Structure 1
Amino acid sequence: MTGDFALAEDCAQDAFVRALSDWRKSGIPDNPGAWLTTVAKRRAIDLLRHAGAEDRALRRVAVEADEPLEPDPDSNADIDDRLRLIFTCCHPALPIDARVALTLRTVAGLTPAQIARAFLVTEPAMDKRLVRARAKIRHAGIPYRVPPPDLMPERRDGVLAVLYLLFTEGYSAAGGGDLIRVSLLREAIRLTRLLVELMPDDGEVRALLALMLLHHARSAARTDAVGDVVTLEEQDRSLWDRDAITEALTILQSLVPRAGRYELQARIAACHLEASDAASTNFARIAELYDALAFIDPSPVVELNRAVAVAMSQGPEAGLRLIDALVTSRNMEDYYLLPATRADLLRRMGRGTEAATEYEKALQLAPSEAEKRYLGKRLAETRC
């Protein structure tokens, strides 16, 4: 209605604050969403009325008329509001990193610090990126809608990246006491299923759904009764969700292999979940898949995962050589899994003193209490 991302956010927040006060006195209304929207709309009209600028006057007319600035007669009314917002944030006028960051902030409610961790950048840098993205949406007049089918492919990559990072945040929370945020996992899967309905012939969309299902299938086994981390190698595989695994593998079998980034990651996950135990995992095949992934989507994180696969298939010394090449990477300075992985390989090689030093580094960088407890246990074992 406002055509201004920041203004809409501010007015929504004002409505939430007022609700906290009014609802305590009068009770929760029958339609809380409508109440909040009405209060936010009135606040927007008041702010725009006093702004005076011509463009704001035009937006005030749109708000008062209760119509979006660019109504889309072809839009699908059944499309989920959250997915519509994702497509708005993932407009091609925005740089891909800004699309992903803004959507994670707006749709998933992640903090700038959490998003910065996902991008391996500082929090102030992420704050600036978010401000620029909101301003771009305002100045470019980007509408709130799912694009027509002919324009959907140009936004696909951004939408897929957002959905996967949303899932990743649920899979390994960037803070707090719990490792897993199940609500985020389920929401990411739900939205991805909806996207599959919109783009049923897109193999990468279906591959992303398969990847999410394969990871989520292990959720019950990833932590113990007190919430501590259980590594893949040590997990009770009888706790894995076999229905989710079967659905994911069926999706992968239906795909024509094209070596997309999500397809490759899904096939890597499938290698782990198809194995009867950790010892029978085909790590040589996993290393090959990571080679292919590094070719189309190079990143330090991919290289780190590839090094682990090499270590498991060729020995810890081979993996450690690859990891040591990543130690000087600036993007990995605050990534706790780098020293944690290095520590694990050193431990397997019997180099306990060096492993303890790396565990201490990882412990200082670990984002969640569950991961800190796991690393603390490993550190204590190494020192014994």
Structure 2
Amino acid sequence: MAEQSLSVFKTTSYQEKPNDHELSFGRTFTDHMFLMDYSEESGWHDARITPYQPLQVDPAAMVFHYGQSVFEGLKAYLSPEGEPLLFRPQKNLQRLNQSNERLCIPQIDEDFLLYALKQLIQIEKDWIPTSEGMSLYIRPTVISTQPFLGVAPSTNYTLMIILSPVGAYYKEGINPVKIAVENDYVRAVRGGTGEAKTGGNYAASLKAQEVAAQDGYAQVLWLDGVEKRYIEEVGSMNVFFKIGDEVVTPQLNGSILNGITRDSAMALLRHWGYHVTERVITIDELYTEYEKGNVLEAFGTGTAAAISPIGQLDWGHKEMVFNNGETGHLAKNLYDTLMGIQYGKIDDPFDWVINVNTAVSTKVS
């Protein structure tokens, strides 16, 4: 790729930062953002950190009409020594490019983007909340900006990274949730965009989640879009089941997102000596094993919550209650360990955590 440099333009009007206890998810944004543009003539260019501001986008921009966009989600954490930390950011940037490939968006220099992200975090370090369990949410996004109403890949794009301080996901401790198995609506199918992190997947999930919430459920368990038998994801998270001595998670099949927390959970479980299997698992098999008393725990994994234990799963008129509706030993250990590593409080045997203050070059090719 062509050599890139990063320009920095500081704001002249700083916001008053909210108190940590006032924070909710995704409603407060920091003083600065990162932007970079793409054109066929210049490739990715004009990388810059600027004051946070609205975008000027043509009403005919292709993103509004054909949905050609991708995004990522990760967090920055504050160590006990006050150092800003990132958890496996390279994996998020690799996945961003995998999503780009599926959506016909040009590839991005991952090393340069990590460099730019670290510069942005250094500038906004004081926005990382200091209270227990809080963090700075990071949202990279790419949108197609060519003003054209023809159905084809865009020739112009904008990449942005915005930051949002967020409160602890579990304000009163980690709690199991009640989930409904979704039998009517479909989130994604193999060959579609399910393995890409693109907005259309989430738009397709909203109706089922809305209906489930009206019935008192926190989320839905997605089955495959063809036979409605194979378990795929839970809400916007990957899902795990402890069945006897085996920990099972659905194998990646083209319609399931390759979660970084999923991968981290599997690595930790194997490190601890658990037998972890990525395979197809049907809702029928799960219920049969539950009836035998073999399903000991169920939980979801994702960036926002890290680990979300499932206390109850309802499949039509069939009800499955795991671990008496309480958080299981495995989910609790995974949650405590992941959070401990992310905040730099416990040993990191995998070298997952990056200190943002680590010296980097001022220009990356």
* TM value normalised by structure 2: 0.28
If you compute each CA radius of gyration, which structure gives the higher value, 1 or 2? 1
Greater fraction of residues in helix: 1
Higher relative contact order (CA 8 A, sep 6+): 2
* TM value normalised by structure 1: 0.27
